[in-house]
């Protein structure tokens, strides 16, 4: 067990700095727009660190690191997509257009951006509802990741750890808004980079060096060999890719690599970062900061997770999953078993930073969706004559804080209901849904000069509906979590191999894109006005 005196001293210092930064942001947050977009004048290095630390959470470190421990280094392709798509394409292709269009429309949130771009209240409300229904699953996964580590390391009650995470994060998000999120994200991102680097260096040192460690990981494929259950699913080793079109291949490619690597482009909590930049140059300067951060954090988590097999095999004669019992405890167990006390404390601070940086962004996004995009625009005052309506900017400050509080409570409730081995699955689930529902219409909206609203509506409805139906009734990993298919039909899934291995993203994206294209062609043929209100 780690030295608790050292841990609490470091933790108190960390929380003190975090709350001080939040207080500075609180003093600067006086209006709804400042709560939502931090004044649209955020320094580029803060944008880069905030984007990275929001994207990389305990889900990536504990959840996906655990997946690497169980399934091997094939997950490293997710790092390639995270940097190539999540940074380069996101900032240089999508980011500039979103910032420019969002500023011209005075958009304050992701649903607000979509609604104004297509002149469609329906798209604003439906986007907000998807966020409110799905994002608590992701937030719960982040909460679970940090809480499990504290439970394992300090023997703190799991419920206490989970509530502590949520309450501390809630304080500065509710009062400081996005500026508090950005300030604390930058600080927490610095801690994460330092902590993860130290863990990678020590891991290679323990295992005899980079070449020796990688060779030992490769050799595990022959001695002791891939476990029979994983071999039957198509796993070939910890440094090789699964058999083509096998169950393991579909999981790694469609759920883990594509689900997160493509889903990052349509993340509401990340998209709003683009709208905080003052100008194009600010976004360009944020790219190298975000790229280095995301490359380092994902590569370290995945590499350490896979190499934990070598450590446990040498020390206990067991593979990581055998030693830990489930995927979500592989990284916590490895850190506690292999690292010195000072590094354990540093890693705990890294997890605190990872959890709080992502949670703060998720809580802020959910609160703004509830307060700004729904309440302030659907409230009874909308029925009043235009001159008598409440000021939405002022409404959103109070409504966002109330909405944030409510969604934090909802996320905590979801965390208590979620099963084990859920962190990586829940993260991929949310990101996949965002990609299917939001990405095609958002891409159309920012690249078309005069986008039609009807194709965007159809694309969102078809994409979201397809994802829901496939997740609930076909894809085995998600269907097991929800249990709806088994409750209604007595079967975990309605279709068998290989369909039950294919992630909803792989089905939903083509249908969503096809619906969008057909809708555009029909609207052009009809020669109707380019936008229409709903």
pLDDT for 390 equals 45
Q: Judge whether 153 lies within some domain.
A: yes
Question: Which residues are CB-neighbours of 35 under 8 A, at least 6 positions away?
Answer: 29, 177, 178, 368, 396, 397, 400, 401
The pLDDT score that the predictor gives to residue 386 is: 44
Run of H or E including 429 = helix 423-447
Give me the pLDDT at residue 381, please. Answer: 45
Residue 149 CA: distances (Å) to CA of 71, 80, 297, 330, 336: 21, 27, 18, 10, 9
Does residue 297 lie within any of the structural domains?
yes
Here the CATH number for the domain that contains residue 302 is 1.20.1730.10
Q: What angle do CA 348, 273, 438 make, to 5 degrees?
A: 105
Tell me if 531 is assigned to some domain: no
Q: What is the pLDDT of residue 391?
A: 47
Q: Which two tokens stand for residue 405?
A: 């509080």
Peptide bond connecting 498 to the previous residue in cis, omega within 30 degrees of 0:
yes
* 264 upstream amide cis, omega within 30 of 0: no
The whole-angstrom separation of Cα 444 and Cα 129 is: 21
In a domain, residue 484? The reply is yes
CA 412 and chain centroid, separation: 16
Counted domains in the chain: 1
CA distance from start to end of the chain: 59
In 10 A of CB 277, how many CB atoms? 27
Q: How is residue 339 annotated by DSSP?
A: S
In a domain, 18, yes or no: yes
- CA 68 to CA 161: how far, in whole Å? 25
Structure tokens at 232: 């039957």
Residue 502 exposure: Cα atoms within 13 Å on the Cβ side = 17
pLDDT, tens digit, 9 for 90 and up, residues 408-417:
888 888 888 8
**How distant, in Å, are the alpha carbons of 140, 144, 378 from that of 390?**
34, 39, 12
**Does residue 533 sit within a domain?**
no
Indicate whether 534 belongs to any domain.
no
Q: Enumerate residue ranges in the chain where pLDDT < 70.
A: 1-4, 25-43, 149, 152-154, 171-183, 185, 376-398, 400, 420-421, 527-534
Range of the domain at 133: 4-526
**Closest residue by Cα to residue 519 from 464, 462, 467:** 462
What are the residues whose beta carbons fall under 8 Å from the beta carbon of 120, sequence distance 6 or more? 114, 453, 456, 457, 531, 532, 533, 534
Residue 382's pLDDT is what?
Answer: 45
| Percent of residues in the chain assigned helix, strand, coil, to nearest 5 | 85, 0, 15
242 within some domain: yes
The full DSSP string for 350-413 is HHHHHHHHHHHHHHHHHHHIIIIIIIHHHSGGGGS-GGGSPPHHHHHHHHHHHHHHHHHHHHHH
Q: What is the pLDDT of residue 242?
A: 93
């Amino acid at each position: 067990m780690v030295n608790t005196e050292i841990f609490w001293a470091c933790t108190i210092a960390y929380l003190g700095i975090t709350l001080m930064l939040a207080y500075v942001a609180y003093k600067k947050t006086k209006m709804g727009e400042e709560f939502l977009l931090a004044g649209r004048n955020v320094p580029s290095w803060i944008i880069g660190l905030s984007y990275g630390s929001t994207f990389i959470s305990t889900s990536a470190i504990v959840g996906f690191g655990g997946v690497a421990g169980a399934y091997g280094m094939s997950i490293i392709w997710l790092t390639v997509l995270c940097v190539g798509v999540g940074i380069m394409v996101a900032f240089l292709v999508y980011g500039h257009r979103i910032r420019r269009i969002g500023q011209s429309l005075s958009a304050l949130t992701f649903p607000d951006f979509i609604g104004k771009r297509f002149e469609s209240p329906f798209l604003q409300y439906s986007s907000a509802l998807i966020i409110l229904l799905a994002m608590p699953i992701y937030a719960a996964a982040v909460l679970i990741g940090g809480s499990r580590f504290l439970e394992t390391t300090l023997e703190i009650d799991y419920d206490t750890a989970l509530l502590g995470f949520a309450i501390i994060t809630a304080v500065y998000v509710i009062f400081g808004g996005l500026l508090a999120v950005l300030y604390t994200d930058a600080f927490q991102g610095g801690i994460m980079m330092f902590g993860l680097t130290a863990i990678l260096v020590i891991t290679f040192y323990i295992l005899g060096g980079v070449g020796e460690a990688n060779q030992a990981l490769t050799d595990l494929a022959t001695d002791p060999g891939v476990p029979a259950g994983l071999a039957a699913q198509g796993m070939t080793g910890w440094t090789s890719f699964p058999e083509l079109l096998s169950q393991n291949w579909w999981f790694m490619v469609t759920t883990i690599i594509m689900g997160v690597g493509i889903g990052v482009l349509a993340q509401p909590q990340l998209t709003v970062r683009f709208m905080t930049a003052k100008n194009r140059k600010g976004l360009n300067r944020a790219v190298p900061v975000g790229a280095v951060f995301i490359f380092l954090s994902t590569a370290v988590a995945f590499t350490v997770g896979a190499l934990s097999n070598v450590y446990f095999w040498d020390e206990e004669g067991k593979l990581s999953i055998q030693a830990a019992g489930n995927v979500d405890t592989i990284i916590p167990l490895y850190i506690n078993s292999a690292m010195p006390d000072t590094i354990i404390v540093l890693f705990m601070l890294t997890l605190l930073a990872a959890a709080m940086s992502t949670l703060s962004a998720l809580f802020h996004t959910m609160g703004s969706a509830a307060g700004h995009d729904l309440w302030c625009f659907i409230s009874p005052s909308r029925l009043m004559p235009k001159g008598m309506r409440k000021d939405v900017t002022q409404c959103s400050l109070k409504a966002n804080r109330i909405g944030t509080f409510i969604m934090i409570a909802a996320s905590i409730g979801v965390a208590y209901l979620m099963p084990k081995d859920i962190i990586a699955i829940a993260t991929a689930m949310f990101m996949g849904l965002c990609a299917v529902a939001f990405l095609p219409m958002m891409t159309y909206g920012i690249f078309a000069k005069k986008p039609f609203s009807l194709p965007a509506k159809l694309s969102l409805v078809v994409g979201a509906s397809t994802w829901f139906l496939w997740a609930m009734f076909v894809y085995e990993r998600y269907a097991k979590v929800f249990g709806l298919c088994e409750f209604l039909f007595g079967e975990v899934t309605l279709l068998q191999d290989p369909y039950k291995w294919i992630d909803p993203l792989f089905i939903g994206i083509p249908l969503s894109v096809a619906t969008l294209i057909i809708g555009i062609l029909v609207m052009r043929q009809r020669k109707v006005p380019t936008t229409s209100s709903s």
